Structure 1
Amino acid sequence: MPEPSRQKDSHAEDLPPLTKSATRPPELPGKFVTPIAFGTILQPLNSSMIAVALVGIRSHFDAGNSVTWLVSALYLATAVAAPAMGRIADVFGARRTSLTGLVLVGAVSAAAPFAPNVATLVVCRILIGIGTAAQYPCGVAMIRRAADESRARPNNALGALAAWSQVTAALGPTFGGLLVGGFGWAGVFWINVPLALIGAAVIMKWGPADPPTRIPSGGRLTALMRVDPVGMLLFAVAITAFMFWLLSLAATPAWWWLAIAVPATALTVWWSIRTHDPFLDMRLLARRALSFTYVRTVVTYTAFYCVFYGLPQWLEETRGLGPTGAGLVVLPIAAVGVLSTLLATLLQRNHGPRVALIAGTAALCVGGLLLTLPTADSPILLLVGIAAMLGLPNGFNNIGNQRAMYVVAPADQMGAASGLYRASQYVGANLAAAVLALLIGDHANDLGLHRMGLAVASIAAALLITSLFGLLRGHLSSRTAQAR
């Protein structure tokens, strides 16, 4: 059966058709899935644990609001580094790149608690972000290699990446609270050391081996140039300026960041076209199904992070539950999200990613509409029920988008394609911050929550229409092919 990624895209919403075979190939063995998935927990864990350590860090350094850069720095570093590390993985091997990232995370995390000031700690968070950013694109690339070599299906492996990510992101604040209680704020850094060591050990033992690295006649320096450092730098400037502009929308828009982002993006495109082996291959983005998947991922995660950040804010400020109560009310979002990930994995085995995306966007539309109901006097059971409903779309959308990216991306560029997919998620996170600033403002009252709910429902409705249209086109294309 031909690889779906080699089929020609016919429309932006189209995904390669999934044909059924009499003898269905087996799923990827668990001995590959566990070590690959384990490394990917570091990024969501570090992004969520820091929330409970900020007060201690602020007090220790007498730092004021500058500690918020510890949160933004990791997101910015991950958005920039994920595509870059994916490209490096395509050139030097996913297993080697993953191990290098884990070593970086372990070493920096061991030293971070001894930082003399917040600025140094921010640099440490940037380096941790680079190391953790390598794990997802390297993980998907290793899954692709192991699946191709063993002629196995990657559904369970991709499902594991999604499920582990949701569990660790949701449990991060709780886990971080225990660490801060036992070891102070340094605990959220030191925990990375044993986790990185365990991750490296299991990948070395069970991770699929990289293909032999062909060192050109010019040596390793020439091989490093294949990564296209110029293109990587231009992309880093473009996306960093764009992310800073998005972050500024929450207060006073800094339009000069956009004045940097636009020409930097143009230079990135120009360099990619004229370079023989570019970091950001325009031919990759010219695959309309892949580009559309990135756009859909940005929009989906804008809605997701609106809920992720906006609902707890309303629960604390208007419903008066406090941080602990708000955390318990939104816990069903994570719990149901894990369950929906398992259901989506089963669903797409027989019906492909489109059906999972339709189910996810439909549930997100319903969840957004439900957010227009609560008031300051709403009972807790109603709020818990709405939170559970909001957890349902997460697994379906995550699995659907992830699988859609997997089937249309070329196997030899899976690292770079996966890195861009990860970057798309964090662009959505920053867009959500801007949306919340416009809809909720400084205080999350009932009106702000209801506006947010309508915005989420509208986004989901637009995504649902495009998914249904793509499904219809797919059926029409299949009938036309059968008629011929």
Structure 2
Amino acid sequence: MSTTPEQKDSNAAGSTGSRELPSAFITPIAFGTILQPLNSSMIAVALVGIRSSFDAGSSVTWLVSALYLATAVSAPAMGRIADVFGARRASLAGFALVGLASVAAPFAPDIPLLVVCRVLIGIGTAAQYPCGVAMVRRAADELRAKPGNALATLAVCSQVSVALGPTLGGLLVGGLGWPGVFWINVPLALVGAAVMLRWGPADPPLERTGRAAALLRVDPVGMLLFTVALTALMFWLLSLAGSVRWWWLVIAVPAGAATAWWSLRREEPFLDMRLLGHRSLSLTYLRTIVTYTAFYCVFYGIPQWLEEARDLGPVGAGLVMLPIPLVGVLSTILSNRLHRTRSPWASLVIGSAALCAGGLLLLVPDADTPIPLLLVIAGVLGLPNGFNNMGNQRAMYAVAPAEHVGAASGLYRTSQYVGANLAAAVLVLSLGATPTDPGLHLMGLAVTAIAAFLLVTALLGGARARRG
């Protein structure tokens, strides 16, 4: 029987040992990964206070979009920096940036400067996931250990923190006002940096004479071209919800072409198009974009409907949504166990099928639906998260070249936030300005269609792997 490229890459991924990485190693890495999901969701409950404090209008929505844009652009950049300078060094620099920006944010005199602080927080938090995956990969290779528990822990931390963000944010805003969602980052960044310094795996030594050369290896020109291309693309995606601004696409396409041209000319480019030319890796990014489009539709769309159409208020809506992260943690654990004997395709098939079922269930609720039924629907919608997240994450880890795993995992994070911006457009087109029962049902149909596409691709991928 011949060996497929995916199997070859998986065999090279370092999971050759019989033991898992020790928990003392995983803890400092996992702690940092909670910062980005928390900051993406806590801000939702602070927007009303910020709008009132600055007498601002719709401009406060940039506090949400700015973080997504900064994360989408900077995640692969920080991953590349981690590959060149060392993952722990890049992680510590990210903690420092988050702490400094969070101290300054409550004193911002206007919305634009507050947005700048959010951008800096986005850059700092974006460093933690690609740095974490790079440290896991290096340790797994050196210790000949399995990365399963480490990757599962990263997935659980991400899901739990993004789901609990609004609850924590509500408590902070209630006690400290809107600055509370920024103040909380200061102790978290300090603790994260201290834990990383104490227990984080040390980077290889960096020769002093080689730092300038190492900086050039990061490829600042390629980074700039990629930033322009992706930022323009994200602005275009955000405009799909209203008046489409095609001129952003006019900027994005040539900037993307210039990024590819520059990448193919350099031996060590920031964004290696030869890496994207790896079919399995590119398909993983595509699946991730589509998966997170559905995820963010559910995560942001249902609470709006619960608050306004079902009239539960923010506290009631948050409690009804609680089964999603709880079941998501359980499905992550089950998916991790499944990966011990099966390929990532098994998790992706289960996750896609569960998402399809959840999307169909969204056709049922109306303004009079009893709470127990809503809790059941939320539980079903939590089931696909762990399986899809772990499946895509494992697939990326298996096929990414070891020397570029930081950049590859950064692009994986970018894919998630491209999906988030696509979800914003889907929500406006389906729910409109005021969520209604028909709007929720239309969103459910969109989620079902996305899940059906993911299920077909997962079944085909699994069949292709078995034939190989």
Q: Fold conserved (TM > 0.5)?
A: yes
Aligned partner of 1:395 in structure 2 is 386
Give the aligned length.
Answer: 464
Q: Say yes or no: does 1:85 pair with 2:78.
A: yes
TM-score (norm: length of structure 2): 0.96
Match among 370, 395, 404 for residue 379 of structure 1: 370
Regions of 4+ moved over 4 Å: 14-19
Q: Could you tell me how far apart the structure 2 residues matched to 1:375 and 1:286 are?
A: 46
Matched position secondary structure for 1:172: helix
After superposing the two structures, state which structure 1 stretch, 413-422 or 432-441, moved more. Answer: 432-441
Map 1:131-280 to 2 at 5 A.
131-214=124-207, 219-280=210-271
1:316-465 counterparts in 2 under 5 A?
316-465=307-456
Q: Check the 8 A contact 2:10/2:398 in 1, yes or no.
A: no
Please name the residue that 1:105 is paired with.
Answer: 98
Instruction: Give the Å deviation of 1:169.
Output: 0.8
Paired residues for 1:7-22 under 5 Å: 9=5
Q: Distance in 2 between the 1:157 and 1:232 partners?
A: 29
1:67-125: per-residue Cα shift (whole Å, max 9, x none)?
11111111100000000000000000001000011011111111211111111111011
Alignment CA distance shift 1:124-1:360 (3 Å): same
Name the TM-score, length of structure 1 as normaliser.
0.93
1:200-230 Cα distance to aligned partner (Å, 9 max, x none): 11111111111222456xx422221110001
> In 1, Cα distance between the equivalents of 2:47 and 2:309?
23
- What residue number does 1:481 align with? none
* Of 437-446 and 324-333, the range deviating more from structure 2: 437-446
Query: What is residue 70 of structure 1 aligned with on the other side?
Result: 63
Runs of at least 5 residues in structure 1 that lack an aligned partner in the other structure: 1-6, 478-484
SS in 1 for 2:311: coil
Contact 1:56 / 1:184 at 8 angstroms: preserved in 2? yes
1:177, CA displacement in angstroms? 1.4
- CA deviation digits over 1:20-44, x for unaligned, max 9? xxx9610000011110000010001
Mapped partners of 1:79, 1:60: distance in 2: 29
Letter in 1 for 2:328: G
Superposed displacement of residue 460, structure 1: 0.9
Q: CA separation in 2, counterparts of 1:437 and 1:50?
A: 19
Task: State the Cα distance separating 1:355 from its structure 2 match.
Answer: 0.7
What amino acid is the match of 1:9?
P
Bigger shift: residues 174-183 or 34-43: 174-183
1:52 corresponds to which letter in structure 2? Answer: V
Give the whole-Å Cα distance in 2 for the aligned partners of 1:247 and 1:15: 39
Structure 1 range deviating more: 349-358 or 401-410: 349-358
* 1:281 to partner: Cα distance: 0.4
Give the Cα–Cα distance (whole angstroms) in 1 for the partners of residues 314 and 172 of structure 2: 17
Aligned CA distance change for structure 1 residues 383 and 252 (closer, same or farther; 3 Å): same
Aligned mates of 2:275, 2:437 — CA distance in 1: 44
Match of 2:110? 117
1:373 Cα offset (Å) = 1.1
Does the CA-based 8 Å contact 2:263-2:269 persist in structure 1? yes
**Residues 332 and 391, structure 1, Cα contact 8 Å, conserved in 2:** yes
Q: CA deviation at 1:291?
A: 0.4
Distance 2:108 2:97 in 1: 16
Aligned-partner residue type, residue 171 of structure 1: L
Q: Is the 8 A contact 1:112 1:121 kept in 2?
A: yes
2:166 maps to amino acid: P
Write the letter of the residue equivalent to 2:246.
W
Letter in 1 for 2:321: V
441-450 vs 358-367, which moves further: 441-450
Deviation at 1:328, TM superposition (A): 1.3
Q: Deviation of residue 15 (structure 1)?
A: 8.8
Q: Secondary structure at the match of 1:152?
A: coil
1:55 match: 48
Give the conservation status (yes or no) of the 8 Å contact 1:17–1:474.
no
Among candidates 281, 290, 311, match of residue 281 of structure 2? 290
* Identity, % of aligned positions: 71
Q: Unaligned stretches of 5+ in structure 2? A: none
What displacement does 1:350 show?
A: 1.4
Checking the alignment, whether the CA contact within 8 Å between 1:9 and 1:288 is kept in structure 2 is no
Amino acid at match of 1:248: S
**Is the 1:215–1:223 contact (alpha carbons within 8 Å) kept by the matching residues of 2?**
no
Question: Alpha-carbon deviation of 1:462?
Answer: 1.4
What do you get for the CA RMSD once the two structures are aligned? 1.7
Alpha-carbon contact 2:10-2:399 (below 8 Å) kept: no
Give how far 1:48 is off: 0.9
- 1:399 CA drift (Å): 0.5
Distance apart, 1:400 and its partner CA: 0.5
CA distance in 2: counterparts of 1:416 and 1:396, whole angstroms: 23
Alignment check: 8 A CA contact 1:374 1:446 kept: yes
